[in-house]
Amino acid sequence: MSESRTIRVGALTRVEGEGALHVSLNNNVIDRVELNIYESPRFFEAFLRGRPLEDVPDLTARICGICPVAYQMSSACAIEAALEIEIPTEIHQLRKLLYCGEWIESHCLHMHLLQAPDFFGYSSGLELGKHFPDEIKRGLRLKKIGNQILEVLGGRSVHPVNVCIGGFYRTPALDELQSLIPELEWGLQAAIETTHWISGFNFPDFVCNYDLISISNSSEYPWFGDTMGSSKGESFDVKEYEQVICEYQVPHSTALQAHKIESQTSCLFGPLARINHSRDNFHPNARELADRVNIQWPCNNPFQSILARGLEVVHAFEEALEICRNYQRPSESRIPYQPRAAVGMAATEAPRGTLFHRYEIDDAGLIQHATIIPPTSQNQKQIENDLRDYLPPLLSMEDDQVAQACERLIRSYDPCISCATHFLKLSIERVE
DSSP 312-349: HHHHHHHHHHHHHHT----S-SB------SEEEEEEEE
Let me know the angle formed at the C-alpha of 355 by 353 and 356, rounded to the nearest 5 degrees.
Answer: 145
pLDDT of residue 2: 61
Of 359, 339, 269, the closest CA to residue 76 belongs to 359
Torsion-angle region of residue 370: left (phi > 0), alpha (psi -120 to 50) or beta? beta
pLDDT of residue 424: 39
Q: What is the pTM of this model?
A: 0.93
In the chain, where the domains are located: 44-419
The answer to whether 45 is annotated as binding is: yes
| Confidence band for 14, pLDDT divided at 50, 70 and 90 | low
User: Percent of the chain, pLDDT > 70?
Assistant: 94
Of 294, 349, 297, nearest to 319 by C-alpha is 349
pLDDT of 342 > 80? The answer is yes
pLDDT in tens, 413-428: 988 766 665 543 433 3
pLDDT in tens, 232-285: 999 999 999 999 999 999 988 888 899 999 999 999 999 999 999 999 999 999
pLDDT at 350 over 70: yes
**pLDDT tens digits, one per residue of 283-331:** 999 999 999 998 889 999 999 999 999 999 999 999 999 999 999 999 9
Percent above pLDDT 90 for the chain: 76
b (16+ CB within 10 A) / e for 237-273: ebeebeebbebeebeebbbbbbbbeeeeebbbbbbbb
pLDDT tens digit string along 61-99?
998 888 999 999 999 999 999 999 999 999 999 999 999
Instruction: Determine contact, residues 272/353, Cβ cutoff 8 Å.
Output: no
Q: 87 with 167: CB under 8 angstroms?
A: yes
pLDDT at position 421: 57
* pLDDT value at residue 419: 62
CA distance 397 to 385: 20
- Residue 168, pLDDT above cutoff 90: yes
196 is in an annotated binding site: no
d(CA 182, CA 195): 20
Could you count the other beta carbons within 10 Å of the beta carbon of residue 409?
20
> How wide is the angle at C-alpha 382 spanned by C-alphas 356 and 402, nearest 5°?
140
pLDDT category of residue 19 using cuts at 50, 70 and 90: confident
Query: Sign (positive/negative) of CA torsion 384, 388, 393, 399?
Result: positive
> Cα angle vertex 62, ends 59, 67, to 5°?
120
Give the single-character DSSP code of 375: H
**pLDDT score of 99:** 97
In which band, very low, low, confident or very high, does the pLDDT at 429 lie, cut at 50, 70 and 90?
very low
User: What tens digit of pLDDT does each residue of 356-402 get?
Assistant: 999 999 999 999 999 999 998 899 999 999 999 999 999 888 888 88
Q: How many residues does the chain have?
A: 432
pLDDT for 276: 95
Give the containing element (helix H, strand E) for 188: helix 181-199
* pLDDT the model gives residue 331: 94
Residue 422 labelled as part of a binding site: yes
- Specify whether the CB–CB gap between 412 and 305 falls below 8 A: yes
**Banded pLDDT at 431 (limits 50, 70, 90):** very low
Write down the mean pLDDT value for the chain. Answer: 91
Whether 432 shows a pLDDT value over 60: the answer reads no
Q: What is the mean predicted confidence (pLDDT) over 87-113? A: 97
pLDDT band at 1 (very low <50, low <70, confident <90, very high): low
Alpha-carbon span 65 to 68, nearest angstrom:
6
Q: What is the pLDDT of residue 13?
A: 65
Topology annotation, domain 44-419: Cytochrome-c3 Hydrogenase; chain B (1.10.645)
Residue type, 227: T
Residue pLDDT, tens place only, 195-235: 999 999 999 999 999 999 999 987 899 999 999 999 999 99
Backbone angles phi, psi at 123, to 5 degrees: -85, -10
Judge whether residue 191 has pLDDT over 80. Answer: yes
Q: What is the pLDDT of residue 15?
A: 62
User: What pLDDT, on the 0 to 100 scale, is given for residue 409?
Assistant: 93
Annotated binding-site residue? 324: no
Round to whole Å and give the CA distance between 106 and 150: 12
The answer to whether 372 is annotated as binding is yes
The per-residue pLDDT for 194 is 98
10-43 residues labelled b (16+ CB within 10 A) or e (exposed): eebebbbbbbbbebebeeeebeebbbbbebebbe
